[in-house]
Every structure is written in structure tokens, then in C-alpha cells.
Amino acid sequence: MKRFLFIFAFALWTAGVISAQVVYQDVSNPGIYEFLDEMANMQLIRVNSVVKPYSREFIAECLNEVQADSEHLNPRQQAELEFYLKDFNKELLSARYFPKRFDILYYSDSLFTCTINGIFGGQAWVNSNGFNYHRWYGAELSSYMGKHLGFYASMRDNAERYPTADTGIITTRHGGTYRSGDYSEMRGGITYGWKWGDVALVKEYIEWGNSYRYPNIISSKAPSFAQFRLHLAPADWFEFNYVHGWLVSGVMDSLRSYSYNGVQHNIYHSKYISANLFTFKPWKRLNLSVGNSVIYSDQYLNPAYFIPVFFYKSVDHSYYGSTSFGGQNSQMFIDISNRLIRNVHMYYSMFIDVMSFGSLFDPETHANHWSMLGGIRYSNLLPNTTLTLEYVRNHPLVYKNDNLTTLYNSNWYSLGHYLGDNAQELYVAVDLRPWKTLHLQAWFSLAQKGPDRVYDRTSDPVTGIPMVLGNTFMESVEWQKELLGFRAEYQLLNDFRFFVELEQQNMEGNEERYNTEFWRGDLVTFSFGGNFGW
């Protein structure tokens, strides 16, 4: 702990000498993330893809590295590099005039840099159940002051004819705080960076865990939430990430709620997350990450959970006792990312909710609740072609808890994998990029859910310690969705794209529970849309 405090204090002390600035790049912008992933698979750059979003400065540095080795790029990749540099050269070049993307407002001098853009877009779906749409508009800005400070903001208003991602619906789309089909989203924050680290107070999406379909550690399913972040990379072989977030429990505190002048004022239970991730890099392109998290509630901000390097389950025991089940909800996770073979990315993520070593191989107990995700991506199997194969298996009761205020969720949306517990999915995708910023993708997925199980604690007959017994994984299929899709997307300008999509789905089982009426049944759905800004 003393070493950590010394490192942190030394970083701030040396900030006047070594500088860096941080503004996060929206994870909803797929183009730049896909390009960096391809470059990492080609071994031209190194990325720690277990944690997203990346900062704009980090993206710019990666593009600069790729430009230094541009002789290894084919014509399409070279054209895309030049395309993205029109945006991210703003982080690299101090001069105001250079080949630059279109911005509504861009200003830069020796002290202050600011970019302001509008946001507008929409998507429409048509199938035999009718017509649906999602439209959004707003504005965003990003700015740097001096050598260390960064701040940014993004506000957008959303409207949908029918909710596309309401709570309880199985979908990969972001969740929203709906009010009759409308919801708004405010993101942004302030950051302070130096050469090998940064701290930030932001309201933002966060994704932890390698995946090309959907992460299983921390996902961006829930609406963005306020969070304090710490990122340290003091050596080439080590990186550390920490987050403390203010979640939304959605559980009303009836004792504190009150009525005044005929108006009901509802007070909700507080809820927080504290999570850390240690990434070790024993070889140049092999990342091994381990970490843990805790969801805690019904107490003031606990300073013990602000200590970034702690194992939070042990902290919980020190407050509530090792045999108590009235404490907080803790988790562990492991992630492996292997790019040692050129053009190949192999990855594995494991989210551990409950693990009982005594019953690890006991087929009768099933007291272990975890999610396992693994996959492989082969870039440029043929020129400009990518093949992805991914499988996820979520055991019964993972992401669940019997205390509503410490569920692994926010706004009632899961912080983990979108399928929830007792589920599995196979995902196969082929991507083709024939020329600059044109992306063609065909994919197939088979998703299944087993019976819904109640989180019920049973005392061990020998020790008397309460145990949460799981159930046999997928003893029957209660819901299934086969999805075959094709998508064509083209970025005409930076952050300006349009797309068309065609999906055929075959669905069986409990559709009423997991799908809105618009997406029930065997369907062929045509979709189209476009946007400026993310």
C-alpha cells in the first residue's frame, strides 16, 4: 500500500515534466476499435483490449506507430489509416492546419484545444410485426487544457416507437431509462493524465473482458453511471485499472420516502461498485489479467472500497463476518489475451460469482456460479477478411443474488453478459473490408436459455454454513434464438456513416418473457439507418 501511494504521489509531482491528456473515445464507434484490433493482430501495435474505452490520445499514439510501419499495410489499410488520422491527428499535431476531418467547431492554440460537433441519427426496422424506429440527436464536445487536463461531454435525446432494450429483454443494445419510449443520456467527465497514468471522474460506459460479441465481466448494457477511474501503466509488463462507480439500485427505501403537498417523493437505496484489474504481460503480446469487484449498498461511501489494490471479499468479511450472508456481493474475474501468432487473437474471460472449492467437482452440489467466454479471431485469413468464432457459457445463478440492493446491475440492467444466467451462445462471423471504411459482415448466432432459478440459500448439513446451491446447467432449453444476419456499413466521413442490415431469426420458447412483441416469432427483419456522431 505504501508503494502504491508513493507511485501515485510521484506521478502528480512529476506531472509538470511528463505530460499526457485523456478524453475517452465512445465504445459505440466500431470502426476505429476494429481497425486497432486488426493492427494489433498484425503485431504492428500493442493494445490491452480487456479494458475499454480507450483514450483518444492512446488511439492517436497507436495510429502513429502504424504509420511508422506503413509499408506492411495493404492499400485498403493505408487508406483507412489516413482516414482516421484526419480525426486523431488533433491529438498528435500542435499546428491547427493539417488534413483534418469535418468539425462544426475546432479551435487549437498552445494552451487550449476544443472540438464541438452535433449528434444526430436514426435506425428503422421493418418486419412482419410492423415498423419500429430509434432516433437520437444532441451535441458533444472534447477539450484539453494545458498539458494534463482533459474534459468532454456528450448529450443526446433518444426516442423509440417500441422499446428496443427495456429491462428483462434479451438484446445486445444499450439500455435506457425509458419514459414512454423516450430517454436521454448524458456522458462525459474531467480527467488528469501523465505519461504513465491518469485519473478521471466521468459518467461513461465501461467494458471489461475480451469479446467480439459481448463481454461477460463488465458490459455497457446498463446506462452510463458516474465513476472514479484510476489507470496506471508504470512498466511495459504491467498495467492496472480501477473503478469506483455510483450505481442505480432502483430499490425504493420505504422508510425514507415521503409525501409532501400531495406529491410522492421516493428515496432509493444507495448502491456502489468497486473493481480492479491487474494486467501482467510476461511476453510482448500475451496479457494475463486478474481482478475482483464488489457491489455494496445501504451504507455511506466506504473508504476501504476506495483502496484500489484490495481483495474486496476479505474487506466484506472484516465488516460482516466470514459466515454472514447479510454482507455485500463480491466477484472475481480472469482474462487471457494471446496475440503471439501473427494475425490470430485467442482470448478467454471468466467471471466468478460464487466458487466453492470443496464442491468444485461435486455433480450433486452445483455450488459454483460463473461465466466462461472464449474465442478466436483470424485477421486477414484472406486479404481484408476476418473470421471470428466465440462461445459463452453462463452457469445457473451467475450475476444473481438474494439481496436486491446488491444485484450485479444498475437501473435493473445487468452489468454482465446480456443473456444472464443459465445460458449459452455460439457466435460465428465473417467480416470483409474490400475498400476504405466499407464493412461487410455476415454472422450466425445460436443463443439458448435454460430454466430460471431462484437464488436460495441452504445450510450445509455438516458445517451449517449457508450455501447457494446451483442447478444443472441447461437441463432443458426454455428459450432459443437462431439468428442469421448480413450488414453493410460505410463511413463517408469521420463519424458519419450509413448502413443496411438484414436478419433472419427463428425463435422458440418463452418469447413473451424475453422479447418485446415487435421481435417475437420467426422473422425476417430489414433495417437501415445512419448517424453523425456517436
The whole-angstrom separation of Cα 227 and Cα 244 is 5
Average pLDDT (23-46) is: 95
Closest CA to 173 of 248, 123, 247: 123
Q: What is the pLDDT of residue 346?
A: 98
pLDDT attached to residue 168? 87
Question: How far apart are alpha carbons 259 and 127 in whole angstroms?
Answer: 46
Please write the tens of the pLDDT for every residue from 286-304. Answer: 999 999 999 999 888 999 9
Report whether pLDDT(188) > 50: yes
Please report which helix (H) or strand (E) contains residue 75, including its range.
helix 75-88
Q: Which residues 6+ apart lie within 8 Å of 222 measured at CB?
A: 175, 247, 409, 410, 411, 413, 414, 415
Tens-place pLDDT, residues 77-127: 999 999 999 999 999 986 667 889 999 999 998 899 999 999 999 999 999
Of 375-389, 453-467, 517-531, the least confident: 453-467
What is the four-CA torsion angle of 51, 52, 55, 58, rounded to 10 degrees?
50
More confident residue, 491 or 470: 491
CATH number at residue 438: 2.40.160.130
Q: For 345-386, how does the pLDDT look when each residue is reduced to its tens digit (9 = 90+)? A: 999 999 999 866 555 555 555 567 899 999 999 999 999 999
pLDDT at 15: 43
Please determine, for residue 14, whether its predicted confidence score (pLDDT) is greater than 50: no
DSSP class per residue in 351-419:
EEEE--GGGTT-TTT---EEEEEEEEEEETSSTTEEEEEEEEEE-TTTT--S-GGG-SEETTEESS-TT
How would residue 476 be classed by pLDDT, with cut points 50, 70 and 90? very high
At residue 446, the pLDDT reads 98
Report pLDDT digits (tens) over 311-327: 999 888 776 554 444 57
DSSP classification of residue 91: T
pLDDT in tens, 128-167: 999 999 999 999 999 999 999 999 999 999 999 999 988 8
pLDDT value at residue 13 = 47
Residue 37, classed as helix, strand or coil, is helix
**pLDDT tens digit sequence for 394-432:** 999 999 998 999 999 999 999 999 999 999 999 999 999
Q: What string of DSSP letters covers 194-263?
A: ETTEEEEEEEE--EES--SS--SSB-S-SPPEEEEEEEEEEETTEEEEEEEEE-----B-TTT-EEETTE
- 230 has pLDDT over 90: yes
Output 503 or 462, whichever has higher pLDDT: 503
Nine-digit cell at 191? 480527467
> Which grid cell is 273?
461498485
What whole-number percentage of the chain has pLDDT above 70?
90
288: helix, coil or strand? strand
| Percentage of the chain lying above the pLDDT 90 cut | 76
For 238-253, the pLDDT digits (tens) are: 999 999 999 999 999 9
State yes or no: pLDDT of 4 exceeds 80: no
Hey, CA dihedral for 61, 64, 69, 70, is it positive or negative?
positive
Place of cell 422508510: 255
Domain span at residue 95 reads 2-532
Amino acid at 213: R
DSSP 476: S
Domains: count for the chain: 1
pLDDT of residue 6: 47
| Residue 266 pLDDT greater than 50, yes or no | yes
pTM of structure: 0.91
User: In the prediction, which pLDDT does 527 show?
Assistant: 98
Cross-strand bridge partners of residue 280:
238, 288
- Residue 262 has a pLDDT of 84
Q: What is the rounded CA–CA span in Å between residue 262 and residue 42? A: 65
Quote the CA–CA distance of 345 and 336 in Å, as a whole number: 10
- pLDDT of 355: 66
Q: What is each CA distance from 486 to 121, 135, 389, 404, 519, in whole angstroms? A: 21, 22, 16, 39, 17
Instruction: Dihedral sign for Cα 60, 62, 65, 67, please.
Output: negative
